[in-house]
Every structure is written in C-alpha cells, then in structure tokens.
Chain A
Amino acid sequence: MTVQTTAPARPTRTRGIEAARARQAIWLLLPTLIAIALVAGYPLYRTFYFSLFEANLTSPEQRTFLGLGNFWFTTEDGIALGFLQDPKWWGAVKNTLLFTVVSVFLETVFGMIIALVVNSAFKGRALLRTAMLVPWAIPTVVSAQMWAYLYNDSFGLIGRGILGGQAVLANTDTAIWALVAVDVWKTTSFMALLILAGLQSLPGDMYEAADMDGASKWTQFWKLTLPLLRPALLVALVFRSLDALRVFDVMSVMLGNVNAAATSMTGYARQALIDNQLLGLGSAVSVAVFLIIMVIVVMYVTAFRVKFD
C-alpha cells in the first residue's frame, strides 16, 4: 500500500489503439472479476438473501420468509425477537466502537512515534525495522493465547506478577482494556510501517530549506510532516479502523465465545449463526455489521477526502 503522488499520463494517442488496449484490459481482468464474483459476491448475496428468512443452519432448505423480522419483530405477546431489540447486541456494538476508537487512537500515536524514530538515520536501523514487525507477524490466535496466559490470575506474568492475582479477563468491563492492550501491542508496528512508507516519500530538501529558515524540529513536524503525511495517515487509519471494527479472533480466544458475543459485533454474529444455528438471524446480524462498517468508511472517505489511488 503505497501512496502515489504522480497522476498517470493522460491518453493522447489515437482512439483505435486505446480502444484495443481497453478491450485487452477487460479480457485480462475477466478471470479476476469472475473470481471475485464467485468468492465474494455470491456469499454476500446469500447473506443478504438469508437475512430475510427464518432458517436453521443444519437444514437451510426449510426456510420461511420473514422480511425484516430478523431485524425487528414483536410478537402479539409483546416478546421482542429482532436482534436490534436485543440489549446484548447494542452492548456488543458499544464495546466494539470503544475498542476501535481507543485502540486505533493509541496505535496511531505510538505508530507515529516509532515511524519517526525508525525514519531517522542511525546504526542498526534495518534490524530494528524488521524486529518491530515481529508482534504483527505472529498469528493473532497464537498471540491472543499467549496474552491470555500472561493475564492468568494464578500463574500469569501480568495477572499474578504485576496485578497480584486479579483476573482482568473475568469481567467484560475490565477485559476490554486488556484486549485494547493486546491489539495495540500487536498492530502498532503495522501502523508504524504504513506511516514510515509515507514519511519516506517526503522530500528531504524541504527539511533542509526549513532548517535554513530557522524552523524548529517541533514546528517542522506540525507544519510540514503532519500535513504532508495526511494522505498516508488517513489510509492507514481507514485500514486499522476496518480491522478493529471486525475484530473477532482476539476476543474469541481470550474471552471464550459466549463473552466474545457481548464484546464484538462479529462475535455476536458468530454466536447467532454457529452456536444457535439461526442462519436467518445470524445473516441479518452480518448484514448489519457490513452496513455499519460501510457507513463508517463512507464517513471517513468523504469527511477527510481520502484518496486510494
């Protein structure tokens, strides 16, 4: 993911060659488009489709049409069946948003600091750049289990050693901060890497000129680096926010699936779909997760005019 600064050359050649090239391009793209339609489009379509039905995971052939009943439905007896009427769902939404905002904010701040350090010239820089990626390279399931052991209240380094036998993961209210810590530990380096790529594209002579003009390093950072880094930073922010919004594995491993359902939207969807076999309701939840993430991305992109080219 690099940020290109030069625009591609405008077509000025004759139409015939261009048209032939365009045709060729379509043919070359066709396999990819078909593959995307098969592996992404079809499951997405099925999810939308099943969200309108009451269906069981073990026998999806038997289904009854519900319309939007999976989202909002109250029986004659006043029993609320739609997931939007379930306080647990809103708890999961709240926790996911909290997790996203806090962890992405911390990752951006720490990522920026690390990137600035690694960007300056010093001995062993290459080694450090590789080393900082280690937490990110460990599979999440493995690192989550590792942290779960660290947090264990009877033998964990943090749980017993630092906190003296407190069980942070036992309660979803305290667990969310433990999870933020794990996520920050793990993905700050990824953030740093994206910011570093942006930093390296900044022209060096600009800083020389700033030095000549007598601007302090502090002023240079706020007036030059940060504004110029904005496109790279925003792309990184969008990426991390998306990842954090659909967080699943850390929660599932460290809290167990039932508590994960109270802490993440995807955990809630998994529980409905897999544990409870409610194919319809689970699909409806997945659709909601999809829409929520889409709305947030659109907000990001329009508000900050992020360019992905």
Chain B
Amino acid sequence: MKKAIAFISLTAAIVASSQASAVTITLACGAVGQELQLCREGAARWAKKTGNTVKIFESPNLTNDRLGLYQQQLAAKSSDIDVYQLDVVWPGLLSQHFVDLKGKVPTNEINAHFKGIIDANTVNGKLVALPWFTDAGLLYYRTDLLKKYGFSAAPKTWTEMALMAKKIQDGEQKTNKAFAGYVWQGKNYEGLTCDAMEWLVSFGGGTIVDAKGNITINNAQAAKALDTAASWVKSISPAGVTTYDEEAARGIFQAGNAAFMRNWPYAWALGQGADSKVKGKIGVAPLPSGGSRNAATLGGWQLGVSSYSKNQAAAIDLVRYLAGPAEQKIRAIEGAYNPTLQSLYKDKDVLAKNPFFGSLYNVFTSAVARPSGPTKSKYNQVSQAFSSAVSDVLSGKSKGQAAVTKLATDIARIKGRGW
C-alpha cells in the first residue's frame, strides 16, 4: 500500500514537473511540395500530446542553400534550432554538432528502420540522426498518353524511353507548343548529382568515387551515360531543363505538359491531388536501365538533435515521435513520403494510397548511395565538381569523355592529401 502511494505520488510529481517545464522546441523543416504543411501538422500533434510548443523554422527549398544556412547556425553554436532536418549525405559533414542518439533512443526503435539508412546516419559509431523518410528516383509517366500512342508498358531502357518520349512529344506539340517529352532535374545543384548518378550506375559507370575512396569517374561507360543525357536536351527535353529543380519539373508534369518525369516519390501524392491536371493518369516505374541495371539514387531526410539545444530531452522525444510508425504512416498516406520502417510497406492503408510502394519496394531498398561516405567532409566539393562537369556536357560545352577526364583531375585536386 505504502509502495503504491509512493509510486502514485512519484508519478504525479513527474507529471507535474514535466507539465511545469513545458518547453518550446524549434524544428527546422523543408518546404518542398507538402513538406512544410505535414511537418507543421506532425509537430502540432506532438505538441498537443506533450504540452510543449513547437516553432517551425522554414528552410530554403534547395538542399545546398539549406546546408549553408545550417552550417552557419551550427558553427556559431546557436541554440535557436533544436531539431534539424538533415539530408542523407550530411551526417558525415555535420556529425560533431549532433547528439548521439545511440543509448538515448531504445535499440528496438532504431532497428525498426532500414539498416542501410541507419548505417548512412552512423558516423564513427555515433548515430547522428533518426531516419524520417527515404527517397529514391522514380520514373513518372502519363498512362493516358502511352496508351494514345500505342505503348503498352513503361520503358525498360533509356533508348526506349527516348523513342517513346519523342513520338509522344511530336504528336502532342501539334496542339500544345509547350509540351515536352521528358523533364528532370538539370539545374547545376545537388539534384543534378542525384540524376546523373542514376545515369552513371545504370550504364555501369561506377559511383564517381568508390567505397575505398578511389576516383573511378574516368571511364568510358560514364562518358557514354553523360553523352546520352546530353542528347535528350533540346530533343525530348526543353532547353530550359538545365535550369529545373524538383519543383520546376513537377510544375510542368502536373500541368499536363510532359510525358515522362524523373522525380522523388513525393510528387505522387501531389500529382493525384484535386488541382492536378494529370490526376488518375500517372504511372510510376523504376528508372530505365542503360544496359547495366535500373538505378535510383538514395535520398531521404533524417531528424537530428543539435548539441547546442537547451532542451535536448524534449527535442529527442519530438524526433522519436516524428520518426515513429504513427507519424510515418500519416506522412506516407497524405504526402507519399516513403517510410523508413519496413513494417509500413506491408500496411494496407499505405499501399491503398500508394500502390507503387509495394511493387517498387526493391527500388527503395536497392537505391544507390552518393559517395558521401568515402569522401567524408569533402563530399560537397566532389558533388559540385561532378554536377558542374555534367552541366557542361548537358549545355554542350564539353563531351562526355573530355568531361570525365577533366573531372578526375578536379576530384584529385579536391582529394588533395586525402579524404
């Protein structure tokens, strides 16, 4: 009896103290597509449950810009932002600024996520962040147009895709001047690195830098991959494709002005929205093969707690909640954000809303990681050198072979004394 009373009063004391110390957590989330709205809603649910307050910090759309901003905050050891949304290639760059979640989050909760993504978030044994959603490049296509022009299935190879896109584009341009065969991310930024990695791997051209840190970009298959992509510009893709990011490509596809689009899974839910002109006419397939394999670049975002946060316990709780199954399920259903929890790929509600999650499960689990692991803190420089070289090939300033030869020198220069 005494024990029970002690227990009750202790619990009451804990509850009271936790209520008394309701805190304000600042969460930095992205604003691509529905991200911001879903982030706001998820944070509000946690706030309601715990009695704390969450402030949302809006970050720039482009991942490079976001990183610049975060680095300034972190270098200044600012406590303004408690929880950061981190790109899958950042843990190596930023690990020293984040709380080690190992030991602070129960092991079974960590193990419920895909192992590959947990590995990507682990730097020297430290778990920098918890996976929130994963991403892989997908090929979106217009089912109605494929049918109209006599195609029965999505293309399997890039050659096939280019032929289909050309035929549809030529037909549609008779009535719609702005129609394009294929839209993708050609602007010189991290998104181009993702797109071009897919071409490289699908042609068997390696991953720029291999797992051991050797520079492997200078090879004939990589050159061929880049030349192939360059041949799309101004033939099946508009000249301006080299200024498009995710949202620009989505805007064109969703307005009904493109037959094919390369984008991340988030574009699905928006394409099926009430204001979409292509609602009910979208098909999703793995990106075509260049002869070697179908390849998708691994993307995705994680949530990490800043070491400079003044309310780390509450911040960790928020991260656990947002990365947890209930929240990931809501995000999968409402925004087609791919869960990082294996169990949700068998969930009926999720599959009903996103039928391609089940059929393209392999695309998500076999996605290719960018070389952020081996290149460590110099990843950004490597990625920029790569995307700039690709950009030169796309705009016709150089040819594939010349570009990869020069790129190998540039990357050697960045590597300098070692990664």
A binds B: yes
User: Hey, which bits of chain A sit against chain B, CB under 8 A?
Assistant: 56-60, 75, 79-81, 86, 152-155, 159-160, 165-167, 169-171, 256-259, 261-262, 270-271, 274-277
User: Shortest beta-carbon distance, B67 to chain A, in Å?
Assistant: 7
* Cβ contact within 8 Å between B189 and A256: yes
* Cβ contact within 8 Å between A154 and B62: no
Residues of chain A with a CB closer than 8 A to B187's CB: 256
How far does the alpha carbon of A152 sit from the alpha carbon of B243 in the complex, in Å? Answer: 9
Of the residues B62, B177, B257, B380, contact of A256 by C-beta under 8 Å: B62
How far does the alpha carbon of A258 sit from the alpha carbon of B190 in the complex, in Å? Answer: 9
B416 at the A/B interface (Cβ < 8 Å)?
yes
Of the residues B94, B178, B252, B388, contact of A58 by C-beta under 8 Å: B94
Given the contacts A160-B178, A275-B384, A277-B380, A154 and B257 also touching, CB distance less than 8 Å: yes
* Cβ contact within 8 Å between A58 and B96: yes
* Cβ contact within 8 Å between A79 and B68: no
How far does the alpha carbon of A159 sit from the alpha carbon of B62 in the complex, in Å? Answer: 23
* B contact patch SS: helix
* Cβ contact within 8 Å between B240 and A167: yes
Of the residues A75, A154, A256, A261, contact of B178 by C-beta under 8 Å: A154
User: Shortest beta-carbon distance, B164 to chain A, in Å?
Assistant: 21
User: Shortest beta-carbon distance, B184 to chain A, in Å?
Assistant: 14
User: Shortest beta-carbon distance, B376 to chain A, in Å?
Assistant: 11
Given the contacts A75-B416, A275-B380, A258 and B388 also touching, CB distance less than 8 Å: yes
* Residue of B with least CB distance to A278: B381
Report the count of interface residues on B (CB-CB < 8 A). 42
B53 at the A/B interface (Cβ < 8 Å)?
no
Residues of chain A with a CB closer than 8 A to B97's CB: 58
* Cβ contact within 8 Å between B240 and A154: yes
* Residue of A with least CB distance to B186: A170
B412 at the A/B interface (Cβ < 8 Å)?
yes
* Cβ contact within 8 Å between A170 and B240: yes
* Residue of B with least CB distance to A156: B240
Of the residues A165, A166, A270, A271, contact of B384 by C-beta under 8 Å: A271
Q: Considering residues B71, B93, B96, which has the most beta carbons from chain A within 10 angstroms of its beta carbon?
A: B71
Residues of chain A with a CB closer than 8 A to B395's CB: 170-171
The 5 residue pairs across chains A and B that have the minimum distance between CB atoms: A153-B240, A167-B240, A170-B242, A274-B68, A167-B239
Residues of chain B with a CB closer than 8 A to A81's CB: 413, 416
* Residue of B with least CB distance to A159: B240
B152 at the A/B interface (Cβ < 8 Å)?
no
* Residue of B with least CB distance to A261: B384
B188 at the A/B interface (Cβ < 8 Å)?
yes
How would residues 48 to 85 of chain B score, 1 for a CB under 8 Å from any chain A CB and 0 otherwise? 00000000000000101101100110110000000000
B348 at the A/B interface (Cβ < 8 Å)?
no
B238 at the A/B interface (Cβ < 8 Å)?
yes
Residues of chain A with a CB closer than 8 A to B67's CB: 275
How would residues 377 to 419 of chain B score, 1 for a CB under 8 Å from any chain A CB and 0 otherwise? 1101100100110010001010000000000000011001100
Q: Considering residues B188, B257, B380, B412, which has the most beta carbons from chain A within 10 angstroms of its beta carbon?
A: B188
User: Shortest beta-carbon distance, B63 to chain A, in Å?
Assistant: 11
Which residues of B from 232 to 247 have beta carbons under 8 Å from A? Answer: 238-243
Residues of chain A with a CB closer than 8 A to B377's CB: 56, 277
